[in-house]
Amino acid sequence: MTRAYNFCAGPAALPEEVLLQAREEMLDWHGKGLSVMEMSHRSDEFVGIAQEAESLLRELLSVPQDYKVLFLQGGANLQFSSVPLNLLGSHSSADYIDTGIWSNKAVKEAARYGKIDVIASTADQHYHRVPQQQELKFNKDAAYVHYCSNETIGGLEFDYVPVTENGVPLVCDMSSTILSRPIDVAQYDMIYAGAQKNIGPAGLCLVIIKESLLDREVSSIPTMMSYRVAAENDSMYNTPPTFAWYLSGLVFQWLKRQGGVAAIGEVNARKASKLYAAIDESRLYANPIAVANRSWMNVPFTLADTGLEKAFLKEADAAGLLNLKGHRSVGGMRASIYNAVPEAAVDALIDFMHAFEKKYYPA
């Protein structure tokens, strides 16, 4: 078996140790004679798996006691509706920060349920930087402020946590940065994240929410989208995606073995730093994002000669460096270097990029 280096933006690489353990336990979990996939979600065994996963996540992120952790379905996209349906309450509007494709999708969906005010946008600067705190023109009656801490497609990341006014809750789509470094959960009122980047396989979505926000849902909300109902039922109002939940627990165990989010954050900083350095030092490759806002997780780059893109992708693939093609909406290349992408993968990519430039774009 040869494992490739996988730079996919999501569903993304998983730690090899996690896949090995899942393989080992595939037909017979802990001598119980059945797969995790075949267990009742209400069995002692699965409830134990589920609770352990939640405990580990709470430990890794130091989640305060007054926050609920929910294991949901539907990905971040379903949250684009769930957030307004759960949090608008009696408010008529919410504030959104626009930093690219994903925050825009959130705006469009939320606008179907309330008045959405885009309080800051860097669209006119091609989303090459994030708005600064002083540019955020909050509405004092907003139900909440929403932003996306990392735009997976643009490779644009907030280097600060916005501070709202008048105690308006802060909601963050953290799909592609959660667990990549320490965060202070208390700075947020709600965090959500699709699993398929730093958490586990696709089909699971995490919500971390302050309990005091669970009383705001609008009456028409589908029961399955209610955070209150999910919280009251320990995310088992219905059958949850049990295998994805179990795998996320294995990922959390792995992350703890790596030394937790502080330790992985150091590795991630180093991975990103050396890859951006390689891009900046080259004549062939370029990344347009303001240095302070460059994503640690998603590194898009262009080739000065776009005619070389096909060869780049083909030769990278042959070298076992997979999924480097940029998102269809923007083109170019993108290397997603989530937690499970080892530093050796980034080193191999940099070596490949150097060799490719030397061969096809010599000085």
Contact positions vs a copy of itself (CB under 8 A): 1-4, 6, 8-14, 16, 19-20, 22-23, 26-28, 32-35, 37-43, 73-78, 80-82, 85, 109, 112-113, 194, 196, 201-204, 219-220, 222-225, 237-244, 247, 320, 322-323, 328
Residue 196 marked as a ligand binder = yes
Q: Which of 29, 68, 95, 102 is catalytic?
A: 102
Nearest distance from residue 144's CB to a copy of itself, in Å? 18
* Nearer to a copy of itself (CB atom), residue 23 or residue 134: 23
Active-site residue, 310 included? no
* Nearer to a copy of itself (CB atom), residue 98 or residue 109: 109
Residue 86 marked as a ligand binder = no
Residue 29 marked as a ligand binder = no
- Residues of 287-310 as b/e, b for ≥16 C-beta within 10 angstroms? bbbeeebbbbbbbbbbbeeeebbe
Q: Which of 95, 98, 173, 189 is catalytic?
A: 173
Nearest distance from residue 75's CB to a copy of itself, in Å? 5
Please check whether residue 296 is in contact with residue 269, taking contact to mean a CB–CB distance below 8 angstroms.
yes
Residue 268 marked as a ligand binder = no
Residue 223 marked as a ligand binder = no
Active-site residue, 210 included? no
Nearest distance from residue 33's CB to a copy of itself, in Å? 3
* Nearer to a copy of itself (CB atom), residue 22 or residue 56: 22
Nearest distance from residue 327's CB to a copy of itself, in Å? 9
* Nearer to a copy of itself (CB atom), residue 15 or residue 154: 15
Q: Which of 68, 197, 271, 325 is catalytic?
A: 197
* Nearer to a copy of itself (CB atom), residue 185 or residue 225: 225
Nearest distance from residue 115's CB to a copy of itself, in Å? 15
Interacting residues of 110 by C-beta distance below 8 A, sequence separation 6+: 80, 81, 83, 84, 94, 96, 116, 146
* Nearer to a copy of itself (CB atom), residue 119 or residue 340: 340
Q: How many CB atoms lie within 10 A of CB 183?
A: 21
Active-site residue, 184 included? no
Residue 238 marked as a ligand binder = yes
Nearest distance from residue 286's CB to a copy of itself, in Å? 24
| Three-state SS letters, 162-226 | CCCCCCCCEEEECCCCCCCCCCCHHHCCEEEEECCCCCCCCCCEEEEEEHHHCCCCCCCCCHHHC
Residue 42 marked as a ligand binder = yes
Annotated binding-site members for pyridoxal 5'-phosphate: 102, 152, 173, 196, 238-239
Annotated binding-site members: 42, 102, 152, 173, 196, 238-239
Annotated binding-site members for L-glutamate: 42
Catalytic residues: 102, 173, 197
